[in-house]
Chains A and B, each alone.
Chain A
Amino acid sequence: MDIRVQAAPFDFGAECGRFGQGDGRAGAVVTFLGLVRGADGMSRMEIEHYPGMTEKALAKIAEDARARWSLSDLLIIHRYGPLAPGDAIMMVATAARHRKAAFEAAEFLMDYLKSRAPFWKKEFGPDGAEWVQAKDDDEAALDRW
């Protein structure tokens, strides 16, 4: 299990390659990559986080996923700081014996990362800067778990 919170970029391909090197236990690997969307003339993004709480919150979310599904491995990388459209923001990867657990655990991680990990996104566009607002859907997405 690996959880990283960093300002530096990461190499999605290399991370997937490393993660996918099975030890014979996993039969399925699911990966998700989140990118900065350059919609509505947005030119850059700034992600703020709460050092200390972020690491604890991610560890808790990962533990909850491992308690629920039998995962042979799990990876979360989440960036903070300045980002541009097209940049990778974050990724998750899950490995399990069967694909259902790997898919479900990856979705679970994503749903909880959205509204339970202390990150805040600020978008800079032609009309100035704006904090991205949480959506009701993000909170509602937790109900299914």
Chain B
Amino acid sequence: MIDVLYFAWVRERIGLPRERVETDAATVAELIEELKAREDRYALAFSDLRALRVALDQELSDFSAPLKGVREVAFFPPMTGG
């Protein structure tokens, strides 16, 4: 089980801020494919990966990163702080 968090428009498109996901995905990219296959709202949220960023256990990462040992995955658009 892994906690998957969504922020900003990713959260709005998917319609929830976080969920627990049962997955055997080895990488972030594989997890995204699993989520996209679920429902249209996921497919829509993940349709353009260039517009997305991912954090693994609260550290910025990338889509090819392995998920082994990871407890929390977060998807969000590029950050707009400051």
A interface, CB within 8 angstroms of B:
34, 48, 50, 52-53, 56-57, 78, 89-90, 110, 113-122, 131-134, 138-139
Q: Which residues of B contact A138 (CB under 8 A)?
A: 80
Q: Cα distance A121–B5 when bound, in Å?
A: 18
Q: Decide yes or no whether B37 CB sits under 8 A from chain A.
A: no
Which of B11, B74, B79 is most buried by chain A, counting CB atoms within 10 A of its CB?
Answer: B79
Cβ of B79 and Cβ of A117 under 8 Å apart?
Answer: yes
Cβ of B81 and Cβ of A114 under 8 Å apart?
Answer: yes
Which residue of the partner chain, among B5, B8, B55, B59, contacts A120 with CB atoms under 8 Å?
B8
Q: A53-B55, A132-B80 are in contact. List 10 more A-B contacts (CB 8 A).
A: A50-B7, A56-B58, A116-B60, A117-B81, A118-B7, A118-B76, A119-B79, A120-B8, A131-B8, A134-B78
In the complex formed, the residue of B with least CB distance to A122 is: B8
Which of A133, A134, A139 is most buried by chain B, counting CB atoms within 10 A of its CB?
Answer: A134
B interface, CB within 8 angstroms of A:
5, 7-9, 11, 55, 58-60, 74, 76-82
In the complex formed, the residue of B with least CB distance to A34 is: B82
Q: Which residues of A contact B8 (CB under 8 A)?
A: 48, 120, 122, 131
Cβ of A131 and Cβ of B79 under 8 Å apart?
Answer: no
Cβ of B60 and Cβ of A50 under 8 Å apart?
Answer: no
Cβ of A114 and Cβ of B82 under 8 Å apart?
Answer: yes
Cβ of A52 and Cβ of B77 under 8 Å apart?
Answer: no
Q: Cα distance A133–B7 when bound, in Å?
A: 14
Q: Cα distance A19–B7 when bound, in Å?
A: 33
Min distance, Cβ A92 to any Cβ of chain B, angstroms: 9
Cβ of B81 and Cβ of A113 under 8 Å apart?
Answer: yes
